[in-house]
Amino acid sequence: MERRLVEAGAQSSRIADYENKIALLGQEIERLNYILKQKVSETDEARNRAGKVEFEFESYRSTSKREIEESRRVIQQLQNETTGSRDLQLTISKVSSENKFLSEENSRAQEGLRQSTNQLSRLASENNELKHEV
């Protein structure tokens, strides 16, 4: 009888230990779920930002293409209408500079989109890693 009481006490102690471990694991799961939700939120925010950047880039690219084509058309028209007037040559030079500037802006916008895409990929990767950890 005494032996059974000792065994029951030991079992009760182990059960209490298990309950404590389960509680700790539950807290850890909650902590990890919280972190996961934060990472998912960050990923969603990054996707939204990337979407906005992509939309702005596409809008800019469309506008840039129209402006570049318009600049080229103006240059061609000026070249056809003049035989070398100094004033018209200055105008052509200005339009060419603007065209170069727009081209450089386009390149910078493409680089920004590439960086946003890389950041989105990195955050998605982190998100997947956290999902696997949970």
Residue 134: pLDDT above 80?
Answer: no
Instruction: Break the chain into its structural domains and give their ranges.
Output: 2-133
The b/e string for 91-123 (b: 16+ C-beta within 10 A; e otherwise) is: ebeebeeebeebeeebeebeeebeebeeebeeb
The string of pLDDT tens digits covering residues 37-52 is 999 999 999 999 989 9
- What's this model's pTM, rounded to 2 decimal places? 0.41
Instruction: Provide the residue type at 14 as one letter.
Output: R
